[in-house]
């Protein structure tokens, strides 16, 4: 029985360190190669020794697929390819390939230069690793080898995020990566066709959440910013460099444009600027509005948003500043925050989740007095707002994707176990398909019944299909022919053809059956020497009985008057 095996090395009942091994029809594929943000030791990378203890990874893996550029999906890639050693192909989309090294480099800098870690991958390793990458387009079918093919679908989430279909023969697996089913200001919604995979591996970050319409959130956000700016206050928005930052920029930019506002918007330089460059380039990956209007004006060429300089923070008058990092734990955003915290006209908007212990988390939980380093007490008078802008599919979105793809079974990763449990139950209930949620290192095996394609000659097909009454029904149909299995290929040919090919002669089997008829009148019959009866004409009618397929009722009648005789015979299946 053919089977598909899935083993998560990371992201099994967990968020972070996405890395899933899939073996399908003898091919081994690794999906994503991420790091875990919560750990600084060996646990931050997936345990690649699980794959092989002493052999080379390249021999075991046919390919690696990276769904998008977030570090929890690609952070371990240089380590995996350069330090552990993998030389096979790595597939990712064009935007991911462009942006991924920037983030990896940034990650390396923070780990090595700031935290002073050794035994970490170097810049050169990132470059070498990227040389192994093969970029793919959306909906492009890439042949990894003769049998394995992969195809990318749009996933929303961040620029260049993709879902991948991995297909060997008629067996297929779809891996969603992270995706978003509701479009936002700069990206569209995930989409997949009815590809009916054997297995759908889906993220489930928001397995138990159904979100409100994003319009309310956007409106609230804009209203808050607008009011504050009108009051003459300064607005600080701490963001991470990529993803949400661009969405918020577009949001504010269009709003400024629409409302003819004049207050300046600033954006901290560095990483974000580089990334914006790529957003400008990969217009085809953005949403309908941006794609349609970029001929007139590229939406990422901001008119109102300018680069930020440290000195601007002290300028009088209203302004909006996007600053990194997003949790106010260090860097520019914290500096600005300290400057502005004292004025109640100012406002800080936290657009995402904050980890416990950071300044962001403290102010969000309502703390008004903060102890900074050097025993300073910072009194927070500015308004603190929280806005959740997240680009993962919610429970409804996940269900919608499952409905679109119509998989034969579902496997959940990238989420908390408790939440998955709920969604799993729902999926099984609504779609009547099996749903799995393996933990890290746990292998899920599912059996498939792949179709076996058989070639049939057109003549035979036409002849056989002409026999039936309605040629166009979708129902399975019985065909008569000879199946030839030869050199790994299957062919259905007509019996004559088969005989010819095999060089065999035709044998005819004749079944005779003696019928005893107790009848005194025998004038018209002639007994031949061998004991059989000769009648001028005889009618034999064979009809199949419905209860028993193997039994046929034969009606034998001839002109000679007398009661007809029913003869029941077990008919043999003839291979003529």
Tell me, yes or no, if 203 is annotated catalytic: yes
Distance CA 319, CA 24 (A): 55
- What is the nearest approach in angstroms of other proteins to the Cβ of residue 226? 8
- In the bound state with other proteins, the residue whose beta carbon lies nearer, of 313 and 363, is 363
Q: Where does this chain touch other proteins (CB under 8 A) — which range of 182-190, 432-440, 508-516, 562-570?
A: 182-190
- What is the nearest approach in angstroms of other proteins to the Cβ of residue 328? 14
Site membership for other proteins, residue 560 (CB under 8 A)? no
Please give the full DSSP string across 493-561, using - where no structure is assigned. E-HHHHHHHHT----------------S--SS-EE-TTS-EE-S-EEEEEEE-SS-TTEEEEEEEESS-
Distance CA 441, CA 444 (A): 10
Among 404, 434, 457, 571, binds other proteins (CB under 8 A): 404
Among 185, 244, 414, 424, binds other proteins (CB under 8 A): 185
- What is the nearest approach in angstroms of other proteins to the Cβ of residue 263? 13
Q: Where does this chain touch other proteins (CB under 8 A) — which range of 70-78, 302-310, 466-474, 537-545?
A: 466-474
- What is the nearest approach in angstroms of other proteins to the Cβ of residue 251? 9
**Residue 156, phi-psi category: left (phi > 0), alpha (psi -120 to 50), beta (remainder):** left
Catalytic-role residue among 82, 147, 171, 203 = 203
Which residues does 135 contact at the CB level (< 8 Å), separation at least 6?
Answer: 91, 92, 93, 94, 97
Among 3, 273, 430, 536, binds other proteins (CB under 8 A): 430
Distance CA 309, CA 576 (A): 89
Site membership for other proteins, residue 132 (CB under 8 A)? no
Site membership for other proteins, residue 426 (CB under 8 A)? yes
Site membership for other proteins, residue 189 (CB under 8 A)? yes
In the sheet that holds 148-154, the strands lie side by side as 141-143, 148-154, 162-168, 171-175, 199-203, 409-413, 434-436
Among 114, 131, 474, 507, binds other proteins (CB under 8 A): 474
Site membership for other proteins, residue 210 (CB under 8 A)? yes
The answer to whether the CB of 552 falls within 8 A of the CB of 545 is yes
Q: Where does this chain touch other proteins (CB under 8 A) — which range of 118-126, 213-221, 333-341, 537-545?
A: 213-221
* CA separation, residue 553 to residues 291, 358, 540, 541 (Å): 71, 87, 10, 8
Tokens 């930020």 identify what position? 308
* CA separation, residue 95 to residues 30, 131, 158, 409, 422 (Å): 20, 15, 10, 30, 34
The residues in 246-305 that bind other proteins, with binding defined as CB under 8 A, are 254, 257-260, 287-289
The residues in 478-517 that bind other proteins, with binding defined as CB under 8 A, are none
The answer to whether the CB of 23 falls within 8 A of the CB of 4 is yes
Distance CA 153, CA 165 (A): 8
What would the two tokens of residue 508 be? 């005819």
The answer to whether the CB of 10 falls within 8 A of the CB of 19 is yes
The residues in 347-376 that bind other proteins, with binding defined as CB under 8 A, are 350, 364-366
- In the bound state with other proteins, the residue whose beta carbon lies nearer, of 7 and 228, is 228
Among 226, 244, 362, 414, binds other proteins (CB under 8 A): 226
- In the bound state with other proteins, the residue whose beta carbon lies nearer, of 127 and 396, is 396
Site membership for other proteins, residue 215 (CB under 8 A)? yes
Among 5, 56, 219, 527, binds other proteins (CB under 8 A): 219
Site membership for other proteins, residue 344 (CB under 8 A)? no
DSSP letter, residue 489: E
- What is the nearest approach in angstroms of other proteins to the Cβ of residue 92? 23
What would the two tokens of residue 365 be? 């939980």
Closest CA to 197 of 137, 160, 156, 151: 151
Site membership for other proteins, residue 385 (CB under 8 A)? yes
Q: Where does this chain touch other proteins (CB under 8 A) — which range of 179-187, 433-441, 500-508, 518-526?
A: 179-187
- In the bound state with other proteins, the residue whose beta carbon lies nearer, of 191 and 294, is 191
The answer to whether the CB of 350 falls within 8 A of the CB of 360 is yes
- In the bound state with other proteins, the residue whose beta carbon lies nearer, of 198 and 385, is 385
The answer to whether the CB of 155 falls within 8 A of the CB of 162 is yes
Distance CA 271, CA 101 (A): 11
Site membership for other proteins, residue 214 (CB under 8 A)? yes
Among 141, 335, 425, 568, binds other proteins (CB under 8 A): 425
Among 213, 296, 537, 546, binds other proteins (CB under 8 A): 213
Distance CA 91, CA 78 (A): 14
- What is the nearest approach in angstroms of other proteins to the Cβ of residue 154? 10
- In the bound state with other proteins, the residue whose beta carbon lies nearer, of 123 and 287, is 287
Element (DSSP H or E) covering residue 383: strand 383-386
- What is the nearest approach in angstroms of other proteins to the Cβ of residue 515? 42
Binding site for other proteins (CB under 8 A): 182-183, 185, 188-189, 191-194, 208-220, 222-224, 226, 254, 257-260, 287-289, 350, 364-366, 383-386, 395-396, 399-400, 403-404, 419, 422, 425-426, 430, 462, 470-474
Residues annotated as catalytic (active site), given as ranges: 203
């Amino acid at each position: 029985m053919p089977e598909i095996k899935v083993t998560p090395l990371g992201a099994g009942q967990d968020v972070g360190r996405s890395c899933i091994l899939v073996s399908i029809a003898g091919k081994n594929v690794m999906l994503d190669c991420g790091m875990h943000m919560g750990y600084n030791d060996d646990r931050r990378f997936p345990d690649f020794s699980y794959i092989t203890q002493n052999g080379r990874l390249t021999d075991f893996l046919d390919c690696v697929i990276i769904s998008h550029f977030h570090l929890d999906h690609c952070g371990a890639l240089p380590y995996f390819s350069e330090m552990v050693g993998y030389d096979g192909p790595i597939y990712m989309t064009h935007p991911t390939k462009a942006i991924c090294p920037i983030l990896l480099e940034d990650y390396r800098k923070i780990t090595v230069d700031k935290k002073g870690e050794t035994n970490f991958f170097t810049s050169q390793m990132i470059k070498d690793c990227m040389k192994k990458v093969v970029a793919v387009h959306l909906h492009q079918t890439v042949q990894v080898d003769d049998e394995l093919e992969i195809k990318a679908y749009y996933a929303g989430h961040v620029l260049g995020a993709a879902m991948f279909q991995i297909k060997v023969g008629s067996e297929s697996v779809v891996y969603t990566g992270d995706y978003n089913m509701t479009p936002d200001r700069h990206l569209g919604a995930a989409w997949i066709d009815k590809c009916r995979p054997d297995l759908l591996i889906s993220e489930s970050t928001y397995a138990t959440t159904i979100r409100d319409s994003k319009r309310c959130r956007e409106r609230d956000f804009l209203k808050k910013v607008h009011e504050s700016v009108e009051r003459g206050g300064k607005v600080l928005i701490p963001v991470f460099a990529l993803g949400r930052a661009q969405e918020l920029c577009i949001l504010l930019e269009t709003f400024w444009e629409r409302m003819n506002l004049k207050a300046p918007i600033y954006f901290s330089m560095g990483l974000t600027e580089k990334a914006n460059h790529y957003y400008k380039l990969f217009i085809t990956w953005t949403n309908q509005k941006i794609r349609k209007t970029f001929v007139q004006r590229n939406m990422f060429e901001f008119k109102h948003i300018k680069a930020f300089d440290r000195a601007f923070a002290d300028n009088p008058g209203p302004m909006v500043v996007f600053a990194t990092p997003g949790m106010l734990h260090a860097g520019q955003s914290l500096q600005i925050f300290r400057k502005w915290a004292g004025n109640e006209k100012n406002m800080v908007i936290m657009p995402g989740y904050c980890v416990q212990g950071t300044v962001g988390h403290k102010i969000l939980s309502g703390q008004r007095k903060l102890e900074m380093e050097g025993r300073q007490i910072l009194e927070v008078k500015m308004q603190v707002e929280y806005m959740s802008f997240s680009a993962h599919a919610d429970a409804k979105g996940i269900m919608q994707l499952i409905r679109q793809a119509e998989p034969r079974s579902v496997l959940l990763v990238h989420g908390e176990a408790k939440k998955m449990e709920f969604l799993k139950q729902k999926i099984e209930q609504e779609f009547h398909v099996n749903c799995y949620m393996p933990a890290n290192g746990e292998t899920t095996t599912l059996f498939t019944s792949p179709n076996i394609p058989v070639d049939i000659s057109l003549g035979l097909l036409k002849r056989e299909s002409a026999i039936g009454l309605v040629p166009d029904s979708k129902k399975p149909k019985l065909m008569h022919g000879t199946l030839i299995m030869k050199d790994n290929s299957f062919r259905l040919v007509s019996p004559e053809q088969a005989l010819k090919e095999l060089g065999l002669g035709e044998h005819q089997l004749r079944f005779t059956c003696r019928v005893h008829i107790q009848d005194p009148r025998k004038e018209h019959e002639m007994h031949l020497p061998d004991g059989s009866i000769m009648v001028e004409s005889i009618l034999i009618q064979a009809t199949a009985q419905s209860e028993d397929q193997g039994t046929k009722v034969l009606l034998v009648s001839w002109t000679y008057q007398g009661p007809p005789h029913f003869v029941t015979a077990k008919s043999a299946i003839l291979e003529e």
